[in-house]
């Protein structure tokens, strides 16, 4: 991108300017929302990412409705029960994440791990026999790991709070970071013969 403004004297010490330049270079808006992609992106495998995001939108949306009506509501109302079912099947669609780059992959694994805890606390928050038994059964694992004192699965208030606040914020934040990483790097090139699994950008620079 051509520079038009004269460089200020203290440019080398301006952290804000350096951060902006880094973002402009690594994440220009045309890469964040690109209108052109390599032709091989037409493959079915790329559908999983966008379907997972659509599933997450459903999970968060239905979760907000459940949270407003309180944890007992869905047991007493057929509409509530329907929304809980949407929540369950929305969760189901969070299954597929597909990445190519190291940091992006690792953030994806962390999202997977946090999603498991988010779903687990959700199962406990059901307030039915299933949630009751999962809590009784799971305490042995959390106690054996030594985390039972601050992650007490038998404490409904604690599990519910984690499920509706901390864990969703973590999942959504990490997914946002994941998408930014994907857009920053672009989709990975197909594997070439005798090429390492991580193609180096510089090798391909023209």
Partner 1 sequence: MTMSDPQDRYYAGIRMVHFDLVKELVLALVAVSIVVIGLAGALSSPDDPAVTIQTWATKDPVDFVTTATSELSGQSGTAQYGPPYTNIPDAAQAVGPIAPQAWAGVSTPIDTAQDFVLRPLGFAAVGNPTLTAALNTYNAASPDQQQTWLTNYTTALANATVGNDEVSVAAGDYGPVPDLMANMLGLARTGALDGLLLRSGTLYQTDFTLPLLFMGDGNYLPDLAAEQHLTGDQWGMMNETGSYPGQTWLWLFSFWYQVPPFNTASNTDLVVIILMIVLTALLALVPFIPILRDIPRWIPVYRLIWRRYYRGR
Query: In the window 108-147, what residues touch partner 1 (CB under 8 A)?
Result: 109-110, 112-113, 115-116, 119-120, 123, 126-137, 139-141, 143-147
Closer residue to partner 1 (CB): 154 or 177 = 154
Contact characters 160-189, partner 1, x per CB under 8 A = x------------------------xx--x
Helix or strand (DSSP H, E) at 85: helix 78-92
**Helix, strand, or coil (residue 21):** helix
Closer residue to partner 1 (CB): 69 or 156 = 156
Closer residue to partner 1 (CB): 10 or 144 = 144
Window 42 to 101, contacts with partner 1 (CB under 8 A): 42-45, 47, 50-51, 53-55, 57-58, 74-75, 81-82, 84-86, 88-90, 92-93, 95, 101
CA dihedral (74, 77, 78, 82) positive or negative: negative
Closer residue to partner 1 (CB): 169 or 191 = 191
- Provide the token pair at 135: 């809590």
The structure tokens 């999603």 sit at 115
Specify burial of residue 198 (Cβ count, 10 A radius: 0-12, 13-18, 19+).
exposed
| Residue 13 DSSP one-character state | G
């Amino acid at each position: 991108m051509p520079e038009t403004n004269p460089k200020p004297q203290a440019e080398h010490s301006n952290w804000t300017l350096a951060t902006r330049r880094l973002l402009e270079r690594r994440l220009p808006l045309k890469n964040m929302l690109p209108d052109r992609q390599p032709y091989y992106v037409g493959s079915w495998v790329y559908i999983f990412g966008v379907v997972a995001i659509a599933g997450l939108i459903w999970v968060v949306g239905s979760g907000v409705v459940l949270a407003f009506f309180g944890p007992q509501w869905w047991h007493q109302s057929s509409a509530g029960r329907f929304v809980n079912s949407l929540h369950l099947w929305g969760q189901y669609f969070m299954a597929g994440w597909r990445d190519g780059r190291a940091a992006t992959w690792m953030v994806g694994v962390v999202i997977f791990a946090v999603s498991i805890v988010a779903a687990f606390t959700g199962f406990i928050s059901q307030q039915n026999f299933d949630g009751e038994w999962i809590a009784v059964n799971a305490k042995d694992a959390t106690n054996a790991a030594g985390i039972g004192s601050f992650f007490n699965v038998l404490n409904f208030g604690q599990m519910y709070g984690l499920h509706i606040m901390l864990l969703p914020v973590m999942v959504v934040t990490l997914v946002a970071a994941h998408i930014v990483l994907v857009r920053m790097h672009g989709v990975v090139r197909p594997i070439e013969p005798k090429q390492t699994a991580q193609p180096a950008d510089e090798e391909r620079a023209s």
